[in-house]
C-alpha cells in the first residue's frame, strides 16, 4: 500500500475490480492501508497454479524473492 509498507498477495481474475474494491473500502482487512497500487503481477494458466504461487509468495522464501526481485532490497 502507498504510505504503508504492506504487501497484498492475492489471486484474482479481474485485477482492476479487485484494486477498486480495496481502494473503495469494500474490504475491511485492507481499508486502513489504502490507497493501494499494483507494483507486480503474474499470470498463471489455472487457478490451482495461481493458488500455489500465492502460497509460495506468502512463505519465507517467497517474501525473500519479492524483496530481492521486485522491491530490489
Kindly report, residue by residue over 12-67, the tens digit of the pLDDT.
Answer: 889 999 899 889 988 888 888 889 988 889 999 999 999 999 999 999 999 999 99
The answer to whether 67 touches 73, Cβ cutoff 8 Å, is yes
d(CA 34, CA 36): 5
Q: What is the pLDDT at residue 11?
A: 86
d(CA 27, CA 56): 23
pTM: 0.74
Contacts 24+ apart (CB under 8 A), 68-71: 70/39, 70/40
Amino acid at each position: 500500500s502507498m504510505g504503508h509498507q504492506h504487501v497484498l498477495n492475492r489471486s484474482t481474475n479481474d485485477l482492476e475490480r479487485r484494486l477498486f474494491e480495496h481502494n473503495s473500502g469494500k474490504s475491511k482487512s485492507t481499508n486502513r492501508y489504502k490507497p493501494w497500487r499494483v507494483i507486480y503481477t503474474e499470470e498463471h494458466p489455472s487457478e490451482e497454479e495461481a493458488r500455489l504461487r500465492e502460497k509460495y509468495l506468502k512463505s519465507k522464501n517467497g517474501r525473500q524473492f519479492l524483496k530481492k526481485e521486485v522491491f530490489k532490497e
